[in-house]
Amino acid sequence: MPTAVPASTPARPTGPAVGTAPARTGRSRRPGRLLAAAVLTASALGLATATPASAASAESARNHPATHYLALGDSLAAGYQSTPGGGHVVGRGYAQDLARTLGDRAEAAGRPFSFTDLGCPGEDTGTMIHGGCPYPHPYAGSQLAAAVSYLKAHRKDRVVVTIDIGANNVDGCASGGQLNLPCAVNGIAAVDRDLDRILGELRSAAGPHTRIVGMNLYDPFLAAWLTGDQGRALATLSVPLADALNATIDRVDAAHHVPTADVGAAFATNAFLPMVPLGGTQVPLNVARIMQWTNMARGDIHANDTGYQVIADTFLAEL
């Protein structure tokens, strides 16, 4: 999600840190008006309809487990976490948690299993398509091109693909207790356009036994609630932005018949009630979950081990 909030909230890392489906149908695009309305009202969630995992697909996953797992996205997919001493690690996130479970399923069925993580910290939808992710990565061009090559090479295999992307498109759209609406509208419009292309290319490259699952996002700006009145205003304003971004992700995923792991709901993003205890005071549930499931207590927007496991479990619900 966006960064550049009061001093207690960090900026994202800028240096080293860490099945084929039916064709998509057309949909109208009026991003300026629709997205502005979405940012300003929490009813934006009503714009999207995620595609739930069916009972038949769940049974198929149990009886015919995936033999390959491909993780795509940004720092969350890469498993970025800061460490208490001021350092960082990669490879300790939801993709690794999910790979362990999928690997166990494959082993129980007597099948081989492989895990490939192409996630790149700092990636947005544009760099995912065109290249230029700022963090070192194992491919020469773009992450999307690397993913397409992987899927073409595994068209006959049972592959699970997870993808999280879009948070960095709205980086910096909230600061100083205010929401920059034009920035948010432009960022969300880019997600709408680019995610459509990304999923279209992945679908075209994927074989009949490939399952792609998307993910929407939690809202780390909620941590600003703890910094006083101005912080509470920013935290409150950030939720409609998160809702609008998640509504866009959910809608584009659904247009490509891609189920969405509802991480926003898992983190109770819209739950300013009930109030719950945290550090000797009472805070909204959504604030408590951000503080308990991410590293925002030390200024890092990324999930901690608990939060990453919640994300992995949310993906598993769609598999």
- How many CB atoms lie under 10 A from the CB of residue 271? 16
Work out the average pLDDT over 56-67. 68
Q: Measure the CA–CA gap between 208 and 57, rounded to whole angstroms.
A: 13
For 174-257, strand residue ranges (E) read: 174-175, 178-179, 210-215
pTM, 2 dp = 0.83
Q: Is residue 85 part of a domain?
A: yes
Give the separation between CA 235 and CA 191, rounded to whole angstroms. Answer: 22
pLDDT score at 254: 98
Structure tokens at 301: 């927007």
What size, in residues, is the chain? Answer: 319
pLDDT of 209 > 90? The answer is: yes
**Domain count of the chain?**
1
Question: Is 1 inside any structural domain?
Answer: no
Residue 144, pLDDT > 70, answer: yes
By C-alpha distance, which of 184, 225, 198 is closest to 44?
184
pLDDT band at 250 (very low <50, low <70, confident <90, very high): very high
In a domain, 18, yes or no: no
- Can you tell me the distance from the alpha carbon of 83 to that of 88, in angstroms, rounded to the nearest whole number? 5
* 19 found inside a domain: no
Mean pLDDT of 156-171: 96
Sign of dihedral through CA atoms 207, 208, 211, 214? positive
Evaluate whether residue 22 is within a structural domain: no
Identify the weakest region by mean pLDDT among 15-19, 27-31, 56-60, 298-302.
15-19
Chain-wide mean pLDDT for the chain?
Answer: 84
Tokens of 129: 């398509």
- Residue 2 in any domain: the answer is no
Cβ contacts of 38 within 8 Å, gap of 6 or more? 44, 47, 188, 240, 243, 244, 247, 248
Q: Percent of the chain, pLDDT > 90?
A: 73
Per-residue confidence (pLDDT) for residue 9, from 0 to 100 = 33
* 10 found inside a domain: no
The domain of 144 spans 31-316
pLDDT at 12 (0 to 100): 37
Confidence of residue 152 (pLDDT cuts 50, 70, 90): very high
Mean pLDDT of 99-118: 98
Residue at 3 is within a domain: no
- The pLDDT score that the predictor gives to residue 63 is 65
Helices marked H in 180-228: 181-205
> Tell me, what CATH number does 141's domain have?
3.40.50.1110
Q: What is the mean pLDDT of residues 50-68?
A: 62
Question: What pLDDT does residue 2 have?
Answer: 36
The torsion region of residue 244 among left (phi > 0), alpha (psi -120 to 50) and beta comes to: alpha
Cβ atoms within 10 Å of 141's Cβ, excluding its own: 12
